[in-house]
Structure 1
Amino acid sequence: MIIGILKEPQDEARVALLPEAVKTLISWKTSVWVESSAGASAYASDQWYQESGGEIHTRKEILEKADLICGIQPLAEAEIGQMKPGAVLMGQLSALFNPKLTDYLIQSGRTAFSMELVPRTTRAQAMDVLSSMATVTGYKAVLMAANLLPRFFPMFMTAAGSITPARVLILGAGVAGLQAIATAKRLGATVYAFDVRQAAKEEVLSLGAKFVDVEGAKEDKSAGGYAVEQSAEYLRKQKDTIHEHATKADVIITTAQIPGRKAPLLVEERTVRAMKAGAVIIDLAASSGGNCALSQPDQTVEVNGVRIVGVGNLAAEMPQDASKMYGKNYLNFLKLIIHNGELKLNFEDDIVTGTCVCHEGKPVSPRIVQMKSA
């Protein structure tokens, strides 16, 4: 079988599989075709791919002849139409957020896997691209905030007097939030963190941050570690508590998202306007509606001296390690569907089923089936 690796769009610096991953695929008795300069923005040359056993081909050749196409960003419908019959598409297709593409894949009789649908189970952890990329995002978000903040993060004792540490508020203590906490602590900030899940409290405290508690949160163990929608009474108390802490913060990093739904509003306009001039908000949920009322996707806006950065694809800011982590997740998943150099889809495996958007035009993942029936 032929596995194709395509060059990502211009604003995406990552590549789905680096040369080291290609070498592994070749050992599985597959052929790997790589589009010329696919890895250039992640500092992986065509020569390295060839030395790892890959072959350099044009985009058109890969689309028309590959049995499995591995990418990150979704392909355009026109390019999906160029794929040979029976070929499988894999990537981060945003299947729940992009129903138009999902409908096209189903109606055109395609088989597709969307890596953000990998179940949040212990067995599937090694394939969880969302967690891997959240690690990158949480780290980079703090560095971005430190660059924008007009003061130091750590405390300094100098001949000119003492500098107090910056106060950082992290909203959401999932993978990105925990990485942000750890990074902010390493930079010397005083860190506070909020999460509706009480299970996150112990992790927050273990990293040296202070947990912002709001009683009465509803939790759902079946939510795969994500937050769930809350009652109106809880949301009122939550916003008042966040407002109180936000007005004292130098930096706020928001990471809260609910799969398939608009991101919860955590930082209201009144809160932004009450914050100190020079403060920075990094909204990692901007592309799914935003945790901050005033954030704009992929834009920086300033309100009363407070800079609000609506972050989109922050993982692409660290393409080498992000690509390495993404590729490792990919390989761990591909082990489930590639056997002796052939593609064999076992839909009795809950990970394969959970990740599959559609097979030969029929919805497969329970989350896709539910979306289609809603």
Structure 2
Amino acid sequence: MTIHVRVRAESAPGEKRVAATPDSVKKLLAAGASVQIESGAGLGSLMTDAAYEAAGARVVRRGAEVEPGSVLFHVRPLTVDETAALPAGTVTVGMLDPFQNAAAVAAARDARVTSFALDLMPRISRAQSMDVLSSQALLAGYRLVTLAADAFGRMFGMTMTAAGTLAPARVLVLGAGVAGLQAIATAKRLGGVVSANDVRAASADEVRSVGGTFIDLDLGTAEAGGGYAKELAEDRARRQQELLAPHIAASDIVLTTAAVPGRAAPRLVTAAMVAAMKPGSVLVDLAAESGGNVEGSVAGERRTIAVPGGAVTLIGARDIQSDLAPDASKLYAMNCANFAALLMKEGDLVLDFDDELVSGSAVTHDGAVVNERVAAVVEGVRA
């Protein structure tokens, strides 16, 4: 029996990514699937309907009914209405952000849809080719630096001329996961003097490996396993802010990337700390969409904050991967195709929940929420 894969055209404002490319279509076809692409789905990533058809996909109208038993690829989490409209037995593959979208998870449960959250994929070596958080964070870290460079009124690197010497920009990165490490490396390549802090034990060596100087606040470590950070207790979080304050005041550019799975972003930079920065300084908050590492940051907004002698620029990142949509889609699409290959056995769709990658990323199946942590959040919620 042929496995049908549907790739939706994203509907969220500002979202330019798509969950399949012509190259990933070829991979899916080689695995025995048929592929339908909703018309115009790839235009934001510079991929035409004709390119998909040339790769062997069939183009269908946007919002066309999904065939029962299909695998639906998506980028942004589906809405309650979009989920409820799917036929029972549909398998969805994409990012769910399930802790922040309990109603949509409940809708998938009630519609008897099997949903896989690639953003819950176990962080093990076998999952690297399916790790959407890493592939998208890589691009986000790069884009953070280019956003800061655009807003910064000076060069990054030190320049010596006959007319004088230009000092390098001092860059501080808070959070040294994939996005933070890429931000460090990119800022370093531009000539900045880069330092960074993170609460995970391995972060010091990782920061140094990409050319940054690690700031040890002597707070101990806070790890939740799987390479993720854990939320600090209130007293330690307050102490972290106090210890970071002089480093932030001394920086020209501050890039924040800290996140805790299933929680609001930790507050690292207060309004008072922003007010103490030098005129002309820039902050870019990658976590603005999940509550913000910087007090006052708003996703999608660029604010000017008055300080003695001038102003500081605060940018709340939003849809940041969509700024690099062709590259983001290329990586994301292969993440989806590689995961789908786990579900395809000799031309049939087989959900092997004994496989830790399948069970670890599954959120709903057969009318139930099968992820225990998500179930605790969704309990009692009706779509």
**Same structural fold, with TM-score higher than 0.5 when normalized by the shorter chain:** yes
Deviates more, 1:284-293 or 1:206-215: 206-215
Q: CA deviation at 1:75?
A: 2.5
Matched, 1:364 2:370: yes
* Aligned pairs for 1:1-374 within 5 A: 1-9=3-11, 10-64=13-67, 67-220=70-223, 222-304=224-306, 305-372=311-378
Alpha-carbon contact 1:89-1:113 (below 8 Å) kept: yes
Q: Which amino acid aligns with 1:209?
A: G
Distance in 2 between residues matched to 1:62 and 1:161, nearest whole Å: 66
Q: What are the superposed Cα offsets for residues 218-244 of structure 1, whole Å, 9 maximum, x if unpaired?
A: 433x52111112234432331122110
Shift of the 77–234 alpha-carbon distance from structure 1 to 2, 3 Å rule, reads closer
Q: Give per-residue Cα distances to partners, 1:262-321, cap 9 Å, x unaligned.
A: 111100111000001111100000111100011112111121111111112211111111
- Of 227-236 and 107-116, deviating more is 227-236
**Percent identity between the aligned chains?**
40
AA partner of residue 377 (structure 2): M
Gaps of 5+ in 2: none
Q: CA deviation at 1:182?
A: 0.2
Aligned length: 373
C-alpha distance in structure 2 between counterparts of 1:77 and 1:262, whole Å: 22
Displacement of 1:169 after TM fit? Answer: 0.2
Whole-Å Cα distance in 2 between the matches of residues 269 and 294 of structure 1? 7
Q: Deviation at 1:116?
A: 0.6
CA–CA separation in structure 2 for the residues paired with 1:205 and 1:265: 24
Tell whether the 8 Å contact from 2:141 to 2:183 is kept in structure 1 after alignment: yes
Between the aligned partners of 1:348 and 1:72, the Cα distance in structure 2 is 26
Instruction: Verify the 8 A CA contact 1:3 1:66 in the aligned structure 2.
Output: no
Instruction: Indicate the SS of the match to 1:89.
Output: strand
CA distance in 1, matches of 2:117, 2:73: 10
CA distance in 1, matches of 2:195, 2:81: 47
Structure 2: which amino acid aligns with 1:266? L
Structure 1 unaligned blocks of 5 or more: none
Please give the TM-score of this superposition, normalised by the length of structure 2: 0.94
List structure 1 runs of 4+ shifted beyond 4 angstroms. none
Q: Distance in 2 between matches of 1:7 and 1:38?
A: 4
Q: Give the root-mean-square deviation of aligned CA atoms.
A: 1.6
TM-score by length of 1: 0.96
